[in-house]
Amino acid sequence: MLLYLLLKLFLTFLIIGLFLYSKLLPYKDRLHGRYKGMFNFCNRIFSPVITFVNARVKPVNVGTGLSVDMSQIILLLLLLLLNIIIR
């Protein structure tokens, strides 16, 4: 029971971390102190996974010269699914 609770908390942390990672990625060089450390921790987790997914899934074209990177969306859906499956 405790293991499932800890796993759900960790998955929730990853979901929130993925959201913050995607928002802060363009500004990573401006971060400082504790926030830079937290970003680097999330970067070590998400960067290899996103690179792996990017190699297999192409961006979706949503307009003229405009496309959406699907790797973060796929990772978010997987994390949400795992969070729902674990009881």
pLDDT in tens, 34-43: 999 999 999 9
Q: What is the pLDDT of residues 51-82, one digit of tens each?
A: 999 999 999 999 999 999 899 999 999 999 99
Enumerate long-range contacts of 70-74, CB under 8 Å, 24 or more apart.
72/18, 72/22
Confidence (pTM): 0.83
Torsion of CA 33, 44, 4, 13, to 10 degrees: 40
Domain boundaries, the chain: 2-85
